[in-house]
A and B are shown apart, each in its own frame.
Chain A
């Protein structure tokens, strides 16, 4: 099927099979910031925001994303203009191998949008769908706290 995907504010005409996963279509379109860690919705590496809602793109058919707004981690910030969440991940040492980071950053973004001042338990709950084997989550939780503080301060 063909249609347009709205990815990070850009509309892309594309064609794909009806049973193709959003994850595969995004990666084939060059959005390799969406990582594949398990392909069964268990690790959170492939998270994207679909109309602002956090979804594992390996659990979504590309067809169902047609006409909806898809945000990947690249939609939040860039190397030269990083999002405060991305900066906080860098500064706290929350990025080790960095493979889980796009998903972690998006999960943090979704959390802080709903709940700008989360308690630590709420942070841990919000990151429950994201696996990381490098950090032990300690510095990731610090990063979320730092980002929340800064975003609250600067609106």
Chain B
């Protein structure tokens, strides 16, 4: 095979993204930029109540408004149970939703849709729909969701169960429980116990492009949907089910996508424009406003975590208990799998802990729907985990960097958690083949000047004190034995190639990364590889952009596909050069005979194959399903200045040192880390869904839901420490998600380092820090004295 020879020339290079010039000059199109011929414009009426039944819905007045063409509601749309989660089939999320229901489960749940000749008419018509509600008592407190006497959101016959713990009669959307060893015994051996509660709010992905979808009928009467999706193939499947149209009558096209971060791993708008376009045999268009994105799409799961860690005198961890309560919101999309990941992506990291229990529940509430969000549960888990580890290391008087090095999983090692906990079901056993977390810790510590600053409480100015904090994390690379990706490729007579992939570039640069992988196999500049991705008619299947899977899973499909093309090129060259294939190697856009030193160019080979001799199309396809999910690792360090008078926190520097295997494109890999870091810092300090007493979001706008700008962003340093992952394409793992896990706990640990205040609930506001500073003695006393207290929430191991 070609790649045995010579050094890598196309991977490991920071080539510019193959769509970036077209994007920078605004030549590229996003969903809302597509022109449609005489479309119907859609607008949606949302529930003003967190929990209600529609007792009457009168659309007569709206219907007669000139320009109104169609109105959809529970009265005329088939009641088909489904989940909007864009996951593999069957989805590990309960089928608890219908497109339009007469029962409403959060402020922002869909009541009706109007399709009209203009957006203004559609919106005016919404005002004319008369709805009477029987307002029900809402359930807004997840901690009470399973109590007796609280409102129930789902149940009866109105859901399709998945074969896991799901009890809508108790508002239980999902439950996961695993245990190893003997936790009681572990805790009884402990000399120190850190037992604390942590809390994280819901958050918005804030992809700059709001969700949008278009649909039209093509020349042969098929339905075409263009949408802001991370999962075009799942979208096609779910639309097919919901509008009762055969799958092959539907084509889903993903154009450029303005960011996803999990928010577009949901099939929300596609069935709606599909219904309107199909029903009226006219194009339809639906573009959400920012407010609609906030209230009616998806959020990060708000979470409460209860963690207990026991340690012996030398700092050895004798037991670890993690309990987690996730807020599903009104529907349970991704609830089981995010919940699983709280444990599955966190607990294997310190694999030497023998006594472990993890118990998680995800519960319904009458709040906006939670779903996939970069980090996918690991972010929630690591917020608690890293603060616990900081506390234990401090108690044992050990440096946290050294402490993490002692406990983290290493090459050649495994964790029982890999097998016990997968994506909503049992996982897949695996051994870690690449891990440079210790080097990440060392390099990151040097970059942040850990030894000079840690524990020194350096004063900067009159009232400010400096602190540094650390967090470690891992993620996965795809979902083993579930995620499938495919690629097809053909060679043109001038020696160029077309690469067709189902993989979904949502701004990550995967079109470029995958072209680099093909280029490496074929020794051809990526400019000669024309990439077409994510069109359900033209490209083969891929699960889509989620679970940190694209480079690792889709990359292997591309590599295998390009390898088959290389074989055909060599075979054709052997015939032309009248030699044996084993004498030939692929070099820069040509084939060389190692014996005769003769070379023949790709153009000559392809021209011959196309036109002259034993003609055939040089082409291939390949599929790939990963058998394991090698974790990328990261060590992240925050340096903060805390104002002791006001509690104001300034993150002044943030360092990430990451092992993502071989970065196929280092600048793009850095970009993934930098984006995740700033999103993570913004979440740590500012971001949260705020609700009024009736469950209505009070801050659904960027003026009130503030995210970091360039001016707020501290100095960011990113260090890539390459390892060679044997199961990955050219040694690659993943990098899309892992870097969002560390900012919040690293900042919390840094604040503690500076002023001794522990903030266990996000966001970390100046007020919370200030209150902590006021109560500092009390805080210290309770932290060290809580060891004996049992909360009664522990699951039995």
Residues of A that sit less than 8 Å from B by CB: 30, 32-33, 35-40, 42-43, 45, 72-74, 77-79, 82, 86-87, 89-93, 95-102, 105, 123-125, 127-141
Contact = CB atoms under 8 A, between A and B. Distances in A.
Nearest to A139: B671
A73 B23 CA distance: 10
A82 B24 contact: yes
A135 B675 contact: yes
B14 A37 contact: no
B27 interface: yes
Contact of A136 (B19, B24, B677): B677
B17 A95 contact: yes
Interface in B676-707: 676-679, 701-703, 707
Of B14, B507, B701, most buried by chain A (CB within 10 Å of CB) is B507
A98 B671 contact: no
11 contacts: A32-B26, A86-B24, A89-B20, A90-B17, A93-B667, A96-B508, A134-B259, A135-B678, A138-B670, A138-B671, A138-B718
B675 A133 contact: yes
B50 to A, nearest CB: 25
Q: Is the interface of B mostly helix, strand, loop or mixed?
A: loop
B259 A99 contact: yes
Contact of B701 (A38, A96, A127, A130): A38
Nearest to B709: A128
B674 A136 contact: yes
A35 to B, nearest CB: 7
Nearest to A93: B667
Contacts of B14: 93
A93 B289 CA distance: 28
A79 B33 CA distance: 17
Interface of B: 14, 16-17, 19-30, 32-33, 35, 205-210, 256-259, 261, 287, 289-290, 506-509, 667-668, 670-671, 673-679, 701-703, 707-711, 713, 716, 718
A82 B414 CA distance: 51
A98 B258 contact: yes
A59 B26 CA distance: 21
Given A43-B208, A127-B710, A74 B16 contact: no
A37 B209 contact: yes
Contact of B28 (A38, A39, A98): A98
A130 to B, nearest CB: 7
B665 to A, nearest CB: 9
B530 to A, nearest CB: 16
Contact of B25 (A73, A93, A127): A73
A134 B509 CA distance: 11
B24 A89 contact: yes
B710 A141 contact: yes
Given A32-B29, A135-B674, A37 B507 contact: no
A131 B705 CA distance: 12
A98 B19 contact: yes
Contact of A42 (B29, B209, B289, B701): B701
B111 to A, nearest CB: 22
A30 B679 CA distance: 32
Contacts of A45: 208
B509 A96 contact: yes
B203 to A, nearest CB: 12
Contacts of A124: 709-711, 713
A97 B207 contact: yes
A33 B674 contact: no
A6 B638 CA distance: 49
A137 B678 contact: yes
Given A90-B24, A97-B209, A139-B671, 16 more contacts: A37-B210, A43-B290, A89-B24, A93-B667, A96-B675, A99-B507, A101-B26, A105-B24, A124-B711, A124-B713, A130-B710, A131-B702, A135-B671, A137-B678, A138-B671, A140-B710
Contacts of B258: 35, 97-100
A32 B285 CA distance: 15
Contacts of B707: 131, 133
Given A93-B667, A131-B702, A139-B674, A78 B25 contact: yes
Contacts of A78: 25, 27
A90 B20 contact: yes
Given A42-B702, A96-B509, A97-B257, A79 B208 contact: no
A43 B259 CA distance: 14
A2 B157 CA distance: 58
B703 A42 contact: yes
B507 A97 contact: yes
Contacts of A125: 711
A151 B33 CA distance: 31
Contacts of B22: 79
Contacts of B708: 137
Contact of B709 (A37, A99, A131): A131
Contacts of A86: 21, 24-25
A13 to B, nearest CB: 20
A136 B208 contact: no
Contact of A82 (B19, B21, B289, B508): B21
Contact of A32 (B32, B206, B718): B32
B30 A82 contact: no
B701 A93 contact: no
Contacts of A127: 709-711
A45 B94 CA distance: 37
B21 A128 contact: no
B308 to A, nearest CB: 34
Nearest to A24: B119
A130 B23 contact: no
Nearest to B703: A42
A93 B671 contact: yes
B159 to A, nearest CB: 34
Contacts of B19: 95, 98
A38 B21 contact: no
In the A-B complex, the 5 residue pairs with the smallest Cβ-Cβ separation, listed nearest first, are A97-B507, A98-B23, A99-B258, A33-B26, A136-B674
Contacts of B703: 40, 42
Contact of A134 (B35, B256, B507, B718): B507
A88 to B, nearest CB: 9
Nearest to B507: A97
Contacts of B678: 135-137
Nearest to A45: B208
Contacts of B257: 97
A82 B27 CA distance: 11
Contact of B24 (A32, A101, A135): A101
B671 A74 contact: no
B710 A97 contact: no
Contacts of A37: 208-210, 290
Contacts of B670: 93, 138-139
Given A79-B21, A97-B258, A133 B26 contact: no
A124 B709 CA distance: 8
A136 B716 contact: yes
Given A135-B675, A138-B674, A139-B671, A40 B21 contact: no
A92 to B, nearest CB: 8
B702 A98 contact: no
Given A73-B25, A82-B25, A127-B709, A133 B208 contact: yes
Given A37-B209, A124-B711, A128-B710, A134 B289 contact: no
B775 to A, nearest CB: 34
A36 B211 CA distance: 11
A135 B675 CA distance: 4
A91 B289 CA distance: 32
Contact of B207 (A42, A72, A82, A133): A133
B660 to A, nearest CB: 16
A80 to B, nearest CB: 9
Contacts of A35: 30, 208-209, 258
Nearest to B739: A136
Contacts of A131: 206, 208, 702, 707, 709
Contact of B16 (A91, A133, A138, A140): A91
B777 to A, nearest CB: 38
